[in-house]
C-alpha cells in the first residue's frame, strides 16, 4: 500500500472513530453500594436489572425493616429481572410478565441514556400497584426505556406484598419498639435511600427525584409524602389512581389481632414459629388484592394521611395526581337494579346515603349499573385524589396538577379502565387495555411529555402542549385527556363533593370515639 492510499485509509478510520465512539460512550458498569454491576446497552439506553438494594428479607429478617445489602465480589451481571415478591402468579401471567416469585425480592432496576456519571438527569422512581397483594417490576408495560430516551433516569423498585409486607402482630410491634405492618412501605423508602446514594453513578440527579405510582403504587406515593422516614428522599410526586386519604381502614391493634388470627390458622402461635414456616405456606391463604394493607405503625406511617395533611406535617412538593373515567369497570361487573343500588347505598353510607343517592342517577337499570361502577371510582380513587390536591393547594406552597383520563378505545367504549393510562405514560402501547393506533401514539407522546416536564421542573407544561392549569381552591381546573385534551372543570365534581361530605362525617365520628 502506497503512502497516498495509507493516508486515505487513516482518514476514513479517524472519521469512523469520531462518529462511532461517542455513540458507544454509554454507562454500562457502575460501582454502587455492595459492589460493581454491569448492565446491557441497547438503542442508546443502558438497562440494569435485578440490582439488590437490601439484604434478602428471609429467615430471621422476615417481617423486619429492610437491612443493608450484602456486598459481592467481582462484577455482578444486571441483565435480567429478579423474581417478584410472593403473590398469586396469575397476575403476572395476565399482564404478560414472568412467573418467578420469591421471598428474596428486594431488587430494583435502572434505565439511563446518560453517557457519563454526573450528568444530573431528573430521576423518576416507579412504584407498581396491585392492591398491596400483587405486582412486580418485570411487568412489560413498566419497561423504562422509552422514558429514559426522553431524558430521565428511570428506576423501578420492588417491595414486599401481602402478609410478607403488611402483617401486623403484637410480637413484631414489641420487636420494633413502635408498631408493625408497614414493611412494604419501608422497602420503598430503602429503595429511595439507595437512589439518593447511588443514582449519580447512572447520570441521575439525587436532588431531583420524582416518585410515581399507580393504584396501590399511587397510594404508596401518598403515604411516602406523609411519612417522616421518607422526608428529603424526593422532590416531586405523581399519583395515578391513588391517593392515600382514605386508605388506612384499620387501627394497629385491630391489625395485630388479624395478624395473630392469620398465623394461628397456619399453626404458628408465635413469630418464631411463623418465621420457620416456608414462604409458600405463609402465602397460601392470602386472597390476593386487599387482604393485607399498610398499617399506621407509628414510625413509617404515623397516622391517617388526611390528619397529617390537615396538620401540615407532609412533604411539601409539587404533585400531579388524577384518575380514570371508568375506574370501577374492572371491579364492578354485575348488572345492578335500581332497588339493589339503593339498598347497597343505604347499607353502606348510613346518614349520608340520601345525599349520595341524589348524586348518582339510578332510576333505570342501566343508570344503576353505571352508578355502581362510578361509586367505586369516587370512593376508592377520585375523592382521595381530589382531597389531596385540595390539601396541597391550600396547605402547601407548591402547586398541584390534576388530570382525568378519559381516552376510549374499542376495548373500553365506556371509558378508560383502571390502569389504562400506564401504557401511555411509559410509551409501551397495547398493554393494560390501551390501544396502539395513531391516536394512541399521539396521546402517549403528549402524556409522557407532561410527566417528563413535571419531573424536570415540577410543572407539566411545555412547548407544543395544551396549557395545564394548576389546581386551586376556587376553579379546581382538571386536565381532561379525551379526544380534545384541555383544562376544564372536573366532570364528576358533584359526586366527589357528596363523598367529601361523607368522609368528613366519618372523620368526626372517629374523633368522637377517641
Catalytic residues: 215, 327, 418
- The dihedral region occupied by 243, where left means phi > 0, alpha psi between -120 and 50, and beta the remainder, is left
Query: Looking up cell 393547594, which residue turns up?
Result: 393
Question: Residue ranges of the alpha helices (H) in 72-206?
Answer: 90-94, 145-149, 162-166, 170-176, 183-198
CB 335 within 8 A of CB 362: no
Rounded to a whole number of angstroms, the distance between the first and last alpha carbons of the chain is 94
150: cell is 426522553
Place of cell 415478591: 85
β partners of residue 32: 35
Secondary structure (H, E, C), 387-399: HHHHHHHHHCCCC
Element (H, E) at 368: helix 365-376
Return d(Cα 334, Cα 205) in angstroms, integer: 48
For cell 394521611, name the residue: 305
Is 370:343 a contact under the CB 8 Å cutoff?
A: no
- Judged on CB neighbours under 10 Å (0-12, 13-18, 19+), 1 is exposed
**What one-character-per-residue DSSP string does 431-492 give?**
STT---SHHHHHHHHHHHHHHHHHHHHS----TTS---PPB-TTT-EEEEESSS-EEEE-TT
Strands in 319-324's sheet, in edge-to-edge order, are: 40-42, 45-52, 107-112, 153-157, 121-127, 204-214, 236-240, 319-324, 400-405, 477-481, 486-489
Total count of residues recorded for the chain: 514
Q: Do 145 and 45 touch, CB atoms closer than 8 A?
A: yes
Amino acid at each position: 500500500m502506497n503512502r497516498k492510499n495509507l493516508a486515505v485509509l487513516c482518514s476514513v478510520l479517524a472519521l469512523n472513530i469520531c462518529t462511532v465512539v461517542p455513540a458507544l460512550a454509554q454507562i454500562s458498569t457502575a460501582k454502587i453500594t455492595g459492589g460493581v454491576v454491569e448492565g446491557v446497552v441497547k438503542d442508546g439506553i443502558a438497562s440494569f436489572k435485578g440490582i439488590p438494594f437490601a439484604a434478602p428479607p428471609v429467615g430471621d429478617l422476615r417481617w423486619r425493616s429492610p437491612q443493608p445489602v450484602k456486598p459481592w465480589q467481582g462484577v455482578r451481571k444486571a441483565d435480567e429481572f429478579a423474581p417478584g415478591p410472593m403473590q398469586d402468579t396469575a397476575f403476572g401471567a395476565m399482564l404478560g410478565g414472568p412467573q418467578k416469585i420469591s421471598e428474596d425480592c428486594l431488587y430494583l432496576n435502572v434505565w439511563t441514556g446518560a453517557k457519563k456519571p454526573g450528568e444530573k438527569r431528573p430521576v423518576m422512581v416507579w412504584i407498581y400497584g396491585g392492591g398491596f397483594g400483587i405486582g412486580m417490576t418485570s411487568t412489560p408495560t413498566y419497561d423504562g426505556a422509552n422514558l429514559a430516551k426522553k431524558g430521565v433516569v428511570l428506576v423501578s423498585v420492588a417491595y414486599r406484598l401481602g402478609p410478607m409486607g403488611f402483617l401486623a402482630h403484637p410480637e413484631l410491634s414489641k420487636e420494633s419498639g413502635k408498631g408493625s405492618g408497614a414493611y412494604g412501605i419501608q422497602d420503598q423508602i430503602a429503595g429511595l435511600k439507595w437512589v439518593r446514594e447511588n443514582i449519580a453513578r447512572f447520570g441521575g440527579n439525587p436532588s431531583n427525584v420524582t416518585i410515581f405510582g399507580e393504584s396501590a403504587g399511587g397510594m404508596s406515593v401518598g403515604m411516602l409524602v406523609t411519612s417522616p422516614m421518607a422526608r428529603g428522599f424526593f422532590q416531586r410526586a405523581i399519583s395515578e389512581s391513588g391517593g392515600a386519604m382514605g386508605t388506612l381502614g384499620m387501627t394497629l391493634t385491630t391489625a395485630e389481632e388479624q395478624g395473630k388470627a392469620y398465623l394461628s390458622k397456619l399453626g404458628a402461635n408465635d413469630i418464631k414459629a411463623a418465621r420457620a414456616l416456608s414462604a409458600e405456606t405463609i402465602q397460601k391463604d392470602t386472597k390476593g388484592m386487599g387482604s393485607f394493607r399498610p398499617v399506621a405503625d407509628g414510625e413509617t406511617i404515623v397516622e391517617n394521611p388526611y390528619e397529617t395533611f390537615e396538620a401540615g406535617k407532609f412533604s411539601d412538593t409539587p404533585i400531579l395526581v388524577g384518575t380514570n373515567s371508568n375506574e370501577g369497570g374492572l371491579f364492578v361487573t354485575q348488572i345492578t337494579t335500581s332497588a339493589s343500588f339503593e339498598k347497597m347505598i343505604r347499607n353502606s353510607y348510613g346518614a349520608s346515603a340520601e345525599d349520595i343517592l341524589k348524586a348518582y342517577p339510578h332510576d333505570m337499570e342501566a343508570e344503576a349499573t353505571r352508578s355502581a361502577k362510578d361509586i367505586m371510582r369516587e370512593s376508592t380513587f377520585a375523592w382521595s385524589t381530589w382531597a389531596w390536591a385540595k390539601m396541597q393547594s391550600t396547605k402547601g406552597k407548591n402547586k398541584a396538577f390534576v388530570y382525568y383520563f378519559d381516552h376510549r378505545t374499542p376495548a373500553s367504549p365506556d371509558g378508560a379502565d383502571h390502569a389504562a393510562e400506564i401504557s401511555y405514560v411509559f410509551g409501551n402501547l397495547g398493554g393494560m387495555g390501551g390501544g396502539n393506533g395513531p391516536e394512541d401514539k399521539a396521546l402517549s407522546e403528549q402524556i409522557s411529555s407532561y410527566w417528563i416536564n413535571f419531573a424536570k421542573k415540577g410543572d407539566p407544561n411545555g412547548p407544543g402542549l395544551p396549557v395545564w392549569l394548576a389546581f386551586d381552591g376556587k376553579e379546581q381546573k382538571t386536565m381532561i385527556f379525551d379526544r380534545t385534551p384541555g383544562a376544564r372543570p372536573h366532570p364528576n365534581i358533584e359526586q366527589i363533593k357528596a363523598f367529601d361530605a361523607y368522609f368528613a362525617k366519618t372523620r368526626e365520628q372517629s374523633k368522637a370515639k377517641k
